[in-house]
Structure 1
Amino acid sequence: MSHFTAFPLVLAAAIMAAAPVPAGEPDLVRADRFVELPTGERLFVREVRRPGAASEPKSAVLLIHGARVPGVASFDLPVAGGSLAADLAAGGHLVYVLDLRGYGASSRHVAMDRPPDKSAPLMRTEDVVADISAAVDGIAKWS
């Protein structure tokens, strides 16, 4: 590999290594947790808070992603100004970011390995409501 090829790669790696912690939020605590479902599946929930906020929070906030992008990518990007979760946590809220089944770090449906025309829809409204309910129950146990 020539020096002309290696230098940009080393420079890019150095920039990426320096970027993971957004400026202005070094005092926030993040904890990645899982809620076990009766089916054996797991829901991923990220907690974002200030140290000590659990003893006197303003409120708990559960952030739920939409149909295409999982929770962390929607609400907790590691770039300055890219984290609604960090903004809310900096204001004293306990923030929880949920990945519904089939998204992000939550359990993946077997049907996701099949062609779309060979499976029923993965999540119906009642499934989403069940995931949210299980996440709220898990959060209540952790708090």
Structure 2
Amino acid sequence: MQKDYLFVYGTLLQQHNAFGQYLRKHCLPVSKGKVKGLLYDVGEYPGLILDDNAGYVHGSIYVIESPLIMAEIDAYEGYGPDEQQPNLYIRTRTSILTAQGYLESWVYQYNLPVENLVLVEGGDYLEYYHKKNPPGS
């Protein structure tokens, strides 16, 4: 059976995020990774737009061993026929660069306009989030 991988780059990386905790409980981390794209601050979460001509967006890759787990993450990301249309994100496969080479992985790409959103310079959401929300603020 082929393994499914998921590249996460935003709120699912946060230690206090309930769905991030769910992901870490039910899935094994594989590697850090990065993908060519642009990362935007959508408010309470980021949005990735894949773009081969852009810099890198940084994140982590997990092995998804059950369709039930993917369905839970789909719901969290607002993806699927039962979610608001158009979907907030679309799930697509793409190549993620790791220290060991490229790995085909699912990723959630933002599916709404980005014209008025702030670009997350450097493509690292956790770093950006901690600068924007320092401890004790």
Class of the TM-score when normalised by the shorter of the 2 chains:
under 0.3
TM-score (norm: length of structure 1): 0.25
TM-score (norm: length of structure 2): 0.26
Q: Which has the higher strand share?
A: 2
> Which structure's relative contact order is higher, taking Cα pairs within 8 Å and 6+ residues apart?
2
Q: Which has the higher helix share?
A: 1
